[in-house]
Structures are given as structure tokens and as C-alpha cells.
Amino acid sequence: MSDLVNAKLSPPIDSIGYTINSTGVQLYTNAHDPNNNTRYYKYTFQETWQFHSMYESVFITNGKKLVQRSAAQQIYFCFGNDYSSSILINSTAALSKDVVYQFPITSIPYNSEKIETKYSILLKQQALTNDAYVFWQNIKKNTEQLGSIFDAQPSEIMGNIHNVANASEPVIGYISAGTIQQKRIFIDRLAFPLTWRVAYPYGCELDSNFFAHPNTKPPLNDVAAFLIPPGSLQIPTVPFFKGLDTRDTTGYISSSIPCVDCTIRGNIKQPAFWK
């Protein structure tokens, strides 16, 4: 069972902003309680972003030949998601006014796929009691701020949950009650310097696949061997031609699955909230 707790009403989130520096983007939040009743805040967030694969595939195999992809078969643009993994707490108890000003939420490296096309963050704000704040502060110290001689030493974590059958048994956890405020923002790629380039998680290269490879005897049909069989490790991107005659298809350019298929690390379905 937990101790009785006071329900805390969270004030609205005033805004979510960001600053740009040499290493990337720093996101922050602002809030205030005109009644000076909150003082202790806890944050969580969910990130969603649109990104694309290194190369776009225009063609797909039907098991017998290569055909043009339909809109439903596109694997170039995808959406990724991530959730906050660190403990984000803030106190205004030492301030004369209950104002949260540019509290850092998360940072994004300048070469991250998160800001390749469009980025969104949904921030949730919860008001805490003083005891709840101390609990999460101790959790943070014991899990995130250990490792060097200058960090805090591990301490006993006291929550507000108890084993009614054995009062001496420690129980780690804390029950809080109250409202949660949330706010979402979108940031477009155009908000960032044009010199920023994405570092893809894979080493991507293009390969040429001929209908009749000029360097093999007899000429090998690369397209039939490597691109048409279902389950092939190469995905065709675009055709190439002999000279300038686009009617004379000589073969297809291809690349590996991770470099062409964005669904390896994302979802092609657009979230309902996306705009």
C-alpha cells in the first residue's frame, strides 16, 4: 500500500523552444504557476520524426520481373519514434516566483536522422510533491549520476509504498496523484543550417546490375540473378541506359536493403497527429 498523497494540479506548459549550437539542437520548456503552488516538476516526452532512406527505390520485383512501385509500396519515407529515458525533474523552490525558464528537455545531434525532414516532440508535465521530488532525485542520483569519484555516492531510496505483511521489507516505488499537462511542437528541417548533413547508420554504396554484364563470359544477367528473385539482398533503385536512349534499358542501379528500405528502422504509416 502507499501512503496517502495530495493530488497536485499541474499548470499549463507555456512553450517548448530550442536553441541551435555547433553540436546540434537543444530543446527546452517554459512554464509558470501564478499561485506559486507547484514548485516541483517532472517531465516525460515522446519524439516522432520523418526521415528517408539513403536511396529511393522506384522498382520492385514481382518474382518474374521488375515493375514500378505503387504509392503503397514506397519505402523511402518513414516515421521513427523514441521516448524519454532519463529522469527529468526541476525545482523552483529556491526562486521567489514559481517559474520554469528554459529547462533543458533533450538535445539532438546536428547529424541525426531525427531532424532530417521533420521533427515533433510531445512533452508531458507533472506536478510533484516535495517528497515525490526527493524520491525521483534520489533515483536519478543512483542511476544516472554514478561512475566517477566526483559523483554522488549511492544512497538508500525511500518511497511511499510499503509491504503491509512485512513493514521492514524495503519497497522501491512512489505513487503520485494529479493532472498532467502536455504540449506538442513541430520543427521543420528548414529551421536548421543547410550545412548540416545526416550521418546514416549504414555504409551505403550503389551497384550496377546489367541484363548482360560486359565483363563476364558468357555475359551474366545480373538483374535476373540478384534483383528479381524474392528475398534478394539488393533492391533496385533506378534503371540505367545505353547512351542517351531511355528506351534501351541496360540494367538497374541497386543498393543493400538497409540503405533503401526505411522500414528497417521505421514505419511508413503517417501518425494521425502529423501535419
CA separation for the pair 103, 29 (Å, rounded): 5
Please state the pTM of the whole predicted model.
0.89
pLDDT (tens digit per residue) in 59-81: 999 999 999 999 999 999 999 99
pLDDT score, position 148: 60
The stretches of the chain forming alpha helices (DSSP H) are 130-144, 222, 257-260
Asked if residue 74 belongs to a domain, the reply is: yes
Residues 6+ away with beta carbon under 8 Å from 104: 26, 27, 28
Asked if residue 247 belongs to a domain, the reply is: yes
**What is the domain range of residue 117?**
7-129+176-264
Task: With a cut of 80, say whether residue 147 has pLDDT above it.
Answer: no
Asked if residue 273 belongs to a domain, the reply is: no
pLDDT (tens digit per residue) in 244-272: 766 789 999 999 999 999 999 999 999 99
Task: With a cut of 60, say whether residue 149 has pLDDT above it.
Answer: no
By DSSP bridging, strand 66-68 and strand 59-61 are antiparallel
> Per the structure, how many domains does the chain have?
1
CA separation for the pair 11, 38 (Å, rounded): 8
3 half-sphere exposure, CB direction, 13 A CA radius = 12
Contact 42, 136 (CB under 8 A): yes
pLDDT (tens digit per residue) in 168-179: 998 999 999 999
For the chain, the farthest-separated pair of C-alpha atoms sits apart, in whole angstroms, at: 84
Reported as type and span, the H/E element at residue 239 is strand 234-241
Asked if residue 93 belongs to a domain, the reply is: yes
Asked if residue 138 belongs to a domain, the reply is: no
Asked if residue 83 belongs to a domain, the reply is: yes
Asked if residue 135 belongs to a domain, the reply is: no
pLDDT score, position 157: 80
Asked if residue 147 belongs to a domain, the reply is: no
Three state DSSP letters for 243-267 = CCCCCCEEEEEEEEHHHHCHHHCCE
Task: With a cut of 60, say whether residue 152 has pLDDT above it.
Answer: no
Q: How confident is the model at residue 153 (pLDDT cuts 50, 70, 90)?
A: low
